[in-house]
Amino acid sequence: MSDFYDQLETRSADQREADLFGRLPAQIAHAKARAPFFARLLADIDADAVTGRAQLAKLPVTRKSDLTDHQNTQPPFGGLTATPAGELYRVFASPGPIYDPEGKGKDWWRIARALYAAGFRKGELLHNCFSYHFTPGGVMFETAAHALGCPVFPAGVGNTELQARAVADLKPAGYSGTPSFLKTILEKADEMGWDHSSLTKACVSGEALLPPLRGSLKDLGVDVLQAYASADLGLIAYETKAMAGLVVDEGVIVEIVRPGTGDPVPAGEVGEVLVTSFNPDYPVIRFATGDLSAVLAGQSPCGRTNIRLKGWMGRADQTTKIKGMFVHPRQVADVVGRHPGIIRARLVVEKEADADVMTLHVEADGAGDGQAIADTIQSVCKLKGRVQFHPPGALPNDGKVIEDKRA
């Protein structure tokens, strides 16, 4: 069997960009015509003119963190769906609450590609421990397995001893769920003296897979790969057996932007993950996930040619309360935007003599006007701030726009 799910995974970068951006104008037009939220947000946008990344970067951002407010204003989906509620297949709820639609169609969430990369093949039983209650995780992986021709044991969460017994009795080929729960199940099976040797692979999500946990699962006989997905977008990126970053899914456009803005960062710099989806039912455009990551240079050793993400590197929402007032990353971006000499900036908040003090650390190519920048800080943030200059490249590449050092 092929190592690749389909030919899309090995096409050239130019072919991929031409295909995605050739389809994008029609998707934007569809969103404007069928989804009231995007009809308003993109009212002044000429869909036919959005034919490349530069044009896409000029479109407004829709933030996951704002979905609850949008849905409260226009229930149940905030006007973001292009398919009427009565024509959907399922509806889910995520914390917030955020209500998530599922339309009709095979592998609607596009998770099958991640399962295939993790080694799942037709006829192999999947022990699925994502929740089937309220949230879509269980259905996302079950429908993906069915698309591959794999039967599913819908285990859900909890009941560790029963889970371990089912693994021993049914002998599944692999697992989907969180990695920590997989470890709990396997350790329970060992404790009870039950065989779990059939379970040799897993596609996990929902929490960080740190090297010690991956190593422990390997010692228990399971090779574990990750899927990066969300209830709003389906699959965003996935790990392959090369374990060299997360390969971006073929059905989305991913951008990495400065947190609090929609401005793309230079290649390799950490920023917020923005995703544009081609889903006809839920056509989100420039959707800010709130996650931090960075694009890795080069191509994956596995042979897949799409861009790769470094992985989850934290949260982009770094809003901080200083002297009783909230300061947002977008305000820092506003300050930077008013001073063209600034390359990059980081607002550091500290305690001095029991008082909050904030300092804007600035990368600048040459001398800058610290007083002018300080005046802008006060104008934008309504708080006084100091300015400290650094040479280009001096600030950490970790995606932080606001760093709170107060204990």
Question: Which sign, positive or negative, has the C-alpha torsion 72, 77, 80, 83?
Answer: negative
> Residue 196 is encoded by which pair of tokens?
């779990």
Q: Report all structural domains of the chain as residue ranges with CATH numbers, in order of start.
A: 1-85+245-316 (3.40.50.12780), 105-231 (3.40.50.12780), 320-404 (3.30.300.30)
Predicted confidence band at 2 (pLDDT cuts at 50, 70, 90)?
confident
**pTM score, whole prediction:** 0.85
Q: Which amino acid is present at 99?
A: Y
| DSSP class of 264 | B
Q: Is 140 exposed, middle or buried (0-12, 13-18, 19+ CB in 10 A)?
A: buried
pLDDT of residue 5: 97
> Residue 316 is encoded by which pair of tokens?
């982009």
Q: How far apart (Å, rounded) are the C-alpha atoms in residues 141 and 177? A: 9
> Residue 327 is encoded by which pair of tokens?
């300061």
Q: How far apart (Å, rounded) are the C-alpha atoms in residues 347 and 359? A: 6
Predicted confidence band at 94 (pLDDT cuts at 50, 70, 90)?
confident
Q: Which helix (H) or strand (E) holds 17?
A: helix 13-34
Q: Is the pLDDT reported for residue 404 higher than 80? A: yes
Q: How far is CA 236 from the centre of its chain?
A: 6
Phi and psi at residue 236, to the nearest 5°: -105, -45
pLDDT digits (tens, 9 = 90+) for 36-56: 999 999 999 999 999 999 999
Predicted confidence band at 1 (pLDDT cuts at 50, 70, 90)?
low
Parallel, antiparallel, or unpaired for β 126-128 and 402-404? Answer: unpaired
Phi and psi at residue 22, to the nearest 5°: -70, -30
> Residue 306 is encoded by which pair of tokens?
């799409």
Neighbour count for residue 133 (Cβ, 10 Å)? 10
Q: How far apart (Å, rounded) are the C-alpha atoms in residues 40 and 24? A: 18
Parallel, antiparallel, or unpaired for β 355-364 and 386-390? Answer: parallel
pLDDT digits (tens, 9 = 90+) for 57-72: 999 999 988 998 999 9
Please list, in sequence order, all residues whose beta carbon lies within 8 angstroms of the beta carbon of residue 249, skipping any fewer than 6 positions away.
110, 113, 114, 234, 235, 236, 237, 238, 306
pLDDT digits (tens, 9 = 90+) for 176-200: 999 999 999 999 999 999 999 999 9
Q: How far apart (Å, rounded) are the C-alpha atoms in residues 393 and 162? A: 54
pLDDT digits (tens, 9 = 90+) for 315-362: 777 878 787 777 888 889 899 999 988 999 999 999 887 778 899 999
Q: Which helix (H) or strand (E) holds 320?
A: strand 320-322
Q: How far apart (Å, rounded) are the C-alpha atoms in residues 219 and 183? A: 10
- Nearest by Cα to 85 from 102, 66, 70, 71: 102
| DSSP class of 265 | P
pLDDT average, residue stretch 120-148:
96
Sheet bearing 402-404, strands edge to edge = 386-390, 355-364, 342-352, 402-404
Please list, in sequence order, all residues whose beta carbon lies within 8 angstroms of the beta carbon of residue 182, skipping any fewer than 6 positions away.
129, 175, 202, 204, 217, 222, 224
pLDDT digits (tens, 9 = 90+) for 358-395: 999 999 887 778 999 999 999 999 889 999 999 999 99
pLDDT digits (tens, 9 = 90+) for 254-271: 999 998 889 999 999 999
Please list, in sequence order, all residues whose beta carbon lies within 8 angstroms of the beta carbon of residue 383, skipping any fewer than 6 positions away.
322, 323, 325, 327, 358, 377
pLDDT of residue 316: 79
Q: How far apart (Å, rounded) are the C-alpha atoms in residues 30 and 82? A: 8
Identify any residues that bridge with 226 across adjacent strands, giving them in sequence order: 204
pLDDT of residue 207: 86
Q: How far apart (Å, rounded) are the C-alpha atoms in residues 317 and 65? A: 9
pLDDT digits (tens, 9 = 90+) for 51-60: 999 999 999 9
Q: How far apart (Å, rounded) are the C-alpha atoms in residues 131 and 206? A: 11
